[in-house]
A and B are shown apart, each in its own frame.
Chain A
């Protein structure tokens, strides 16, 4: 079965997805890990800011806003 894996910034609002891979490196990667974004973490797109970027996500019970630059480096699979 082919799996549909795409960057987090393409996740529509209100939808949930599971993290499959983190492609960032260095300090950005560390920051994402600190937020608890690891493989299999569930994320939900909650709210866009007025200009569409950043987007607020629910990550492990907290609401975190990420810019598209960061979100595009998190690969997810919709659930």
Chain B
């Protein structure tokens, strides 16, 4: 019985993938490959699921599974994280390796980028050392053709000894053939992994000493590879094997003895542990080079010239950062001006519906208190959240996805890495911050692309410093009322966009500052190695970008906001409508919080609104309006002017606005993000720290500003 054939009952690894079969004889197909090779696009095209894809390394941070039918047979396709190697340098690599090795897939499809085949072959060869049940899918053939790169698929198949299929996943070319090969392979009996790579003589000798004893424990199937890894001393694999076998493989007497012998052979040849790994990796890399030389030919050696020319501009000393700021500003500007009209329309529509709903409930003699609770509490909060959030998200997310698809985002990380290095953080944190602009919870999940734990924690804790889509409307409204209100027409939206961009820059500066403070205090340690791939630029699929970002991101984030907003509406309504003595619970809270709130430039109502806004940040302003108007339900005002008047009449000055904006940038993560942090860090300690760090920072900054301004008497 081989490792692969042992039943997978309990978790052998905390990162184990759980496979849900629809039908007991469904075949399992693992989808492996380097990051950014079109794996997710392939997955979507095969399964029809909308797995989000993106043009940056390490996008598949969670695993997607989907089912497809071919020739009447069901296949479960498991999208593994994009990785460069199976040497288990990161959690993703471990997950992928363990699944290929122990997950019992009936076939493994390795997706490779035709424009960069040699590099991809590294993973292909490593996979083939584990299993022969594999198919190589050479994707992006159209791009290779454009770059005049010719790939001899037959030669590849001959060299690798597995079926090779050329595809172009974006338009679906080659997918049928791929499914045919998957079908054929999955129906076949698995065979023993072959000698895809032959190592130096002492290594081969050591393997031949050790392998027979391993065969006795785990069977024939991939004993050679396990022997190689035991000699390598790969601890993560040994752990996985031990958890899988439920015993310590190195304590098997025979294996221990043979290990000793094999080690002696190696040491006698002067091969220590480090050299062993070097030799193994070098051999694989050299074999990849050899295969690539035989199967790939370039008609034009300068096939990447266009990309280099673009890079020379957008990552240049003079233009790199200005271009980035202008692009960011442009995205915000489009979001702000584009969202106004649909937002108004939606809000009109939803409030019209509210009137109808109210009348309908009145007509059927619905109890008055309950009616008010449902309509003015729950429904109105929902309507507010949707009309405020949906339009900007529906504009922001597609624009963002477009930049992502183009391949621009890794360049942002490249441009900004030096700042992150100074903050002892990782350049990829720039990417997780970008995701945070959409939704902080998404940003926190995205932190998995950072492979060292220390830098990943820094990125998670500081992610809420960048404002998410739920907070943008708050920021934009406040800017428009208090700072851009002196301008009119097109100038006003330009000034708004400029101020917003500056605010973003401020939030980035704070992120870097806090990252540095964290890495000098509770997260001490040396920066880990930094490597970042700059993938080729790709023409984005505009139609797909729009549908995908609306369905995957916009509706997803909105759905989550709605789920938290409904109960929040209920609680807020109750707090505002249940009175004790002469005032509502809400007023009591506000009165209680007023003295501390004044110290940080706010007032009791604003602070209460932030606390009640924990489930969803977008309801902060509605709660403030509601409280000021002493209404029992969330209010919307006709226009910004009225809102401005209301705020000013309630004692808002520019200082209140500044503190309000800063506090909204830095208080605590919203409920969803909070729970996501818990899930990602698996630790209450880090979750609470992630709560406290922005809360304390925001409070301190507001306190300092308020105190300074009041001492200088400039307000």
Interface residues of A (CB under 8 A from B): 22, 24-25, 27-36, 38-39, 41, 46-54, 56, 58-67, 69-70
Contacts and interface: CB of A to CB of B under 8 A. Distances in A.
Given A35-B531, A36-B285, A65-B530, 12 more contacts: A27-B89, A30-B277, A34-B281, A41-B285, A46-B308, A47-B311, A48-B317, A53-B418, A54-B418, A56-B311, A60-B118, A70-B531
Contacts of A63: 304, 307, 311, 533-535
Given A31-B89, A46-B308, A62-B533, A54 B414 contact: yes
Interface string B507-549: 0000000000000000000011111111100000000000000
6 contacts: A33-B285, A38-B278, A38-B285, A51-B317, A64-B534, A70-B530
B144 to A, nearest CB: 11
Interface string B275-317: 0011001100110110000000000000010011001100111
A66 B89 contact: no
Interface of B: 84-85, 87, 89, 115-119, 122, 274, 277-278, 281-282, 285-286, 288-289, 304, 307-308, 311-312, 315-317, 320-321, 414-415, 417-419, 421, 427, 527-535
Contacts of B421: 53, 67
A51 B415 CA distance: 8
B521 to A, nearest CB: 22
B84 A49 contact: no
B317 A38 contact: no
Contacts of B285: 33, 36, 38, 41, 60
B541 to A, nearest CB: 22
B321 A50 contact: yes
B316 A50 contact: yes
A39 B87 CA distance: 19
Contacts of A46: 308, 311
Contacts of A33: 277-278, 281-282, 285
B529 A70 contact: yes
Contacts of B282: 33, 38-39
B468 to A, nearest CB: 27
Contacts of B122: 34, 36
Contacts of A41: 285
A51 B288 CA distance: 34
B530 A67 contact: yes
B311 A34 contact: no
A78 to B, nearest CB: 19
A56 B534 contact: yes
A64 B530 CA distance: 10
